Structure 1
Amino acid sequence: MKILLISDIHGNYPALAAVSEAVSKHTISYVLNCGDSLVYAPFPNQTLDWLRDNEAFTIRGNTDDRVIKLLKGKNFKKPANPEKRIMYTSTAEALSKENAAYLLEQKKKKLLRLGHSFIGLYHGSPAEHEEFLFADTPDKRFKELAKKTHCEIVITGHSHTPYHKYIGGVHFINPGSVGRMFDGNPQASFALLKIKKGNVEVKHYRCPYDIDAVIDALGKSKLPPAYGDMFRAGKKLN
């Protein structure tokens, strides 16, 4: 059983399409997505259409949470920066009725049994929705989290940092960010999880995508050009 792991697409459909093409030679049994599917690139409908068409198991992240608030007629205090807020409001305004309904259905976590494996999807961690777990997070913290879950495999996003750790009897996996990496390499990040007879194998990948298409779309949508610089640099600039 081979599973595509993705997270933090951030509305970057050209990057998601590149990942889809990169894994097309594999037989993918499931797609698991750990949230922050929207905001910062102007392709919200294409992104959610792909997740729906591919029957992805999806949860919501913190950027999705704020879009959901807007869809419910509510507001949010942070981010206060106008250049950031417009990325949320423009996303909420652009969503089709079908994709707005799809987003509203998403939960903050999902527990799955795939084959003989119990898998937990979280955006931040099993303990906190917005906890940042990095490759260099102390093992002590992962041991604490292992005690808080009955899952054999825990998949998270949020930190945009790829890693695979086996601690406390639990496989902790972050596939990195499809659409908004911060390590200076703008290429899309994803992982393939292979489960066979109880053995767990994880491989992380990076693939290039059409960054110019994202920058052109930002310009056509009259969105802040700073985000074009961010995608090109592969770094968080604000």
Structure 2
Amino acid sequence: MRLAILSDIHGNYEALQEIVCDFKKSNIDSVIFLGDLVMKGPEPKEVFETLKKLNPICWIKGNTELWLSDKRTQNESINSTLKEIELYRNFAIERLSIDSINFMLGCPEKKSLTIENKTFLCVHGSPRSITEALYPNNNFKDTIESVKEDVILCGHSHIPFKQKIGNKILFNPGSVGCSYDGEADTSYGIIDITQASIDFSIKRLNYPITKLIANAKKENFPNLEAYANLIKEAKNYRKELKL
């Protein structure tokens, strides 16, 4: 089986569309989604409808899905301006149906899967918290000590990496919609699974950033200049805003 691992789409339909077009070429069988679908980004309805059609075998919520219910974590309340979050929330809610909002709010925060005798734990941030970002080359021993699965799939940091910790593998596919590793290309992960082996790879694709920003301007997306700079520079200068 060949899986596409998607995370942190953040309302970027242009990037998601580029990845979906690549699926046939890459012989993708199924999709796993690790959260943060519609905020913050200018095309919430389009990305929701596109992901729904893909029928992921796993669809979990990220921290920005919690914004749809006006729920705040302590971390976000301290480190983000509630006014800014409210702008993105209102923008998305105006463009989404009640059914689609309820669907996203009903998704689990983590899920365990078994595929070809391999076990996977799917989370957004870390096994401990939906808002805990894991970065490459860190010591994750305490973070994963209670995990029973063979592979931990996570997003949230917007930085793609694979790291082996003991007999476990931690895999982050990066961000579809808003990279933070200095490369503006969209990013997704591919996992090839057989009874005998499991292989991981990251795929980067160019997409029409100019069109994305033009669409954002047309839709009067909040904080457009800051958003455009973030997308083009692919660096999170505001780490306190837990996207």
Evaluate the alpha carbon distance shift between residue 94 and residue 77 of structure 1 in structure 2; reply closer, same or farther with a 3 A threshold.
farther
Distance (whole Å) between structure 2 residues aligned to residue 218 and residue 84 of structure 1 = 17
**How far apart are 1:182 and its partner, in Å?**
1.4
Contact 2:61 2:105 in 1 (8 A): no
Pair 1:160-2:161 in alignment? no
CA distance in 2, matches of 1:169, 1:198: 16
1:198 offset after TM fit, Å?
A: 3.5
TM-score (norm 1): 0.89
Residue identity matched to 1:95? L
Amino acid at match of 1:44: P
Q: Runs of 5+ in structure 1 lacking a partner?
A: 71-75
2:241 counterpart residue number? none
Question: Does residue 54 of structure 1 match 2:54?
Answer: yes
* SS at structure 1 position matched to 2:36: coil
Q: Distance in 1 between matches of 2:168 and 2:101?
A: 34
Matched, 1:201 2:199: yes
* Residues 1-238 of structure 1 aligned to structure 2 (within 5 Å): 1-56=1-56, 57-69=58-70, 77=77, 79-80=80-81, 82-138=83-139, 141=140, 143-223=141-221, 224-225=223-224, 226-238=226-238
Shift of 1:152: 0.9
What is the distance in 1 between the residues matched to 2:173 and 2:207? Answer: 17
Kept in 1, the 8 Å contact 2:154–2:171? The answer is yes
Would the aligned equivalents of 1:16 and 1:178 in 2 still touch at CA under 8 Å? yes
Q: 1:47 to 1:110 in 2, by over 3 A?
A: same
Q: Distance in 2 between matches of 1:160 and 1:109?
A: 18
Secondary structure (helix, strand or coil) at the match of 2:190 reads: strand
Deviation at 1:81, TM superposition (A): 6.1
Query: In the alignment, is the contact (CA less than 8 A) between 1:41 and 1:214 conserved in 2?
Result: no
Q: Residue deviations 1:102-157, cap 9 Å, x none?
A: 2121111111122322111101111222111111212xx2x334431111111000
Query: Counterpart of 1:73?
Result: none
CA distance, structure 1, for counterparts of residue 157 and residue 87 of structure 2: 23
Give 1:84 deviation, angstroms: 4.6
User: 2:200 aligns to what SS in structure 1?
Assistant: strand
Judged with a 3 Å threshold, the aligned counterparts in structure 2 of structure 1 residues 6 and 99 are, in CA distance, closer, same or farther, namely: same
Match of 1:179, SS state, is coil
Secondary structure (helix, strand or coil) at the match of 1:24 reads helix
Query: Helix, strand or coil for the counterpart of 2:119?
Result: strand
Which consecutive unaligned segments of at least 5 residues does structure 2 have? 239-243
1:198-220: CA deviation from partner (whole Å, max 9, x where unpaired): 41100111111111222112111
RMSD: 1.8
Alpha-carbon separation, structure 1, partners of 2:10 and 2:108: 17
Percent identity of the aligned residues? 27
Q: Specify the SS of the correspondent of 1:38.
A: coil
> 1:236 Cα shift?
2.4
* One-letter amino acid of the counterpart of residue 91, structure 1: A
Deviation at residue 183 of structure 1 after TM alignment: 2.0
* CA shift for structure 1 position 37: 1.2
In the comparison of the two structures, how many residue pairs are matched?
230
Counterpart residue identity of residue 205, structure 2: C
Contact 1:68/1:103 (CA < 8 Å) preserved in 2?
Answer: no
Q: Secondary structure at the match of 2:162?
A: strand
- 1 CA distance for matches of 2:2 and 2:136? 23
Cα distance in 1 for partners of 2:218, 2:236 equals 22
Preserved CA contact (<8 Å) 1:146 1:169:
no
The TM-score normalised by the length of structure 2 is: 0.88
